[in-house]
Structure 1
Amino acid sequence: MIWNKWTQFYFHLPIFLRLLFSVCLLMLLFGYLIHIIEPNHFPTTFDGIWWAFVTGSTVGYGDYVPLSFVGKFVGILLILAGGGLVTFYMATVSAGTIKHEKNLTEGKISYKGSNHTILIGWNERTKQLIQMFKEHHLQTDTVLIDHTLNKVSYQNHRIHFIHGQPTSDEILKKANIEQATFIIITADPSLTEEEADRQTILNIIAARGNNSNVHIISEILTEVQRKNAIRAGSNVILRSNNFMSSLLYQSLFQKDIQIIDIIAKTLEEQQFCTKLIDDHLLEHEFYYCAQHYLHDGKWLIGLIREGEMILHPSFSLKTQKDDKLIYLKAMAE
Structure 2
Amino acid sequence: MAVRLLLHFLKLPLAGRILAMATVTILFFGVTIHIVEPKVFPTIFDGVWWAIITASTVGFGDFVPVTVEGKLVGIILILVGAGFLSTFFVTLAATTVQTQNALNHGKAAYKGKSGHMVIVGWNERSRYVIKQLIKLDPSTRIVLIDESLNEKPIQDVNVHFIQGSADQDNILIKAGINEAKTIIITADPSVSEVESDMRTILQLIAIKGINPSVYCVVEILTQRQINNANRAGADEIIESNSLSGSVMMNTILNQGISKALDVMLNQNHGSKVEYRPVPSELLGQSFNMLVQKYYNDEILVIGIKKRGETFVNPPFDMKVEYGDELLLICGHYRSSSSNS
TM-score by length of 1: 0.94
Query: 1:198 maps to which residue?
Result: 198
Structure 2 CA distance, aligned partners of 1:321 and 1:106?
Answer: 50
Counterpart AA for 2:248: L
Indicate the SS of the match to 2:216. strand
Q: Does 1:252 align with 2:262?
A: no
Aligned partner of 1:45 in structure 2 is 44
Stretches of structure 2 that go unaligned for 5 or more consecutive residues are none
Residues 33 and 151 of structure 1: CA distance in aligned 2, closer, same or farther (over 3 Å): same
The answer on 1:264 being equivalent to 2:265 is no
- For 2:204 and 2:278, the matched residues in 1 are separated by 32
Alpha-carbon distance in structure 2 between the residues aligned to 1:139 and 1:95: 29
Give the conservation status (yes or no) of the 8 Å contact 1:116–1:140. Answer: yes
CA contact (8 A) 1:130 1:157 kept: no
Q: How does 1:4-19 map to 2 (within 5 A)?
A: 4-19=3-18
| Contact 1:105-1:154 at 8 Å conserved across structures | no
From the superposition, tell whether residues 7 and 157 of structure 1 become closer, same or farther in structure 2 (CA, over 3 Å).
closer
Q: Which region of structure 1 is more displaced relative to structure 2, 264-273 or 78-87?
A: 264-273
Give the alignment of 1:1-333 within 5 angstroms. 2-113=1-112, 114-137=114-137, 139-152=139-152, 155-156=155-156, 158-255=158-255, 257=256, 259-269=257-267, 270-332=271-333, 333=336
Give the paired residue count: 330
- CA gap 1:21/1:184 in 2 versus in 1, 3 angstroms: same
Offset at residue 282 of structure 1 (A): 2.3
**TM-aligned CA deviation for residue 152 of structure 1:** 0.5
1:119, 1:143 within 8 Å by CA — same for their partners in 2?
yes
Distance in 1, Cα, partners of 2:13 & 2:133: 36
CA RMSD of aligned residues (A): 1.6
Q: What is the CA–CA distance in structure 2 between the aligned matches of 1:48 and 1:157, rounded to whole Å?
A: 43
Distance across 1 between alignment mates of 2:59 and 2:218: 63
Q: Give, in whole Å, the separation in 2 of the partners of 1:51 and 1:20.
A: 18
Cα distance change, pair 235–96 in 1 and its aligned pair in 2 (3 A)? same
In 2, Cα distance between the equivalents of 1:153 and 1:187?
Answer: 18
Q: Matches of 1:294 and 1:172 in 2, distance apart?
A: 45
> Which digits, 9 at most, give the CA deviation of each residue in 1:25-69, with x for residues without a partner?
000000001101111111100110011011111122222111222
Q: Residue deviations 1:210-237, cap 9 Å, x none? A: 1010000000001100000000010000
Unaligned runs of 5+ in 1: none
Q: Is the 8 A contact 1:38 1:66 kept in 2?
A: yes
User: After alignment, is 49-58 or 277-286 more displaced?
Assistant: 277-286
Q: Distance in 2 between matches of 1:238 and 1:260?
A: 18
1:24 to partner: Cα distance: 0.5
Is the Cα contact below 8 Å between 2:134 and 2:140 reproduced in 1?
no
What's the CA shift for 1:4?
3.5
Amino acid in the other structure paired with 1:78 = L
Could you say if the C-alpha distance between residues 157 and 65 of structure 1 is closer, same or farther in structure 2, counting changes exceeding 3 Å? Answer: closer
Moved over 6 A (4+): none
Q: Is the 8 A contact 2:264 2:273 kept in 1?
A: no
- In structure 2, do the counterparts of structure 1 residues 157 and 123 end up closer, same or farther at CA, with 3 Å as the change threshold? farther
1:171-195 deviations in whole A, cap 9, x for unaligned? Answer: 1111111111111000000011101
Distance 1:194 1:157, change over 3 A: farther
Structure 1 residues 240-249 or 72-81, which shifts more?
Answer: 72-81
Deviation for aligned residue 1:330: 2.3
Amino acid in the other structure paired with 2:42: P
Q: Deviations over 1:240-282 (max 9, x none)?
A: 0011001111111333x2x223212221223322223222212
The amino acid of 1:39's aligned partner reads: P
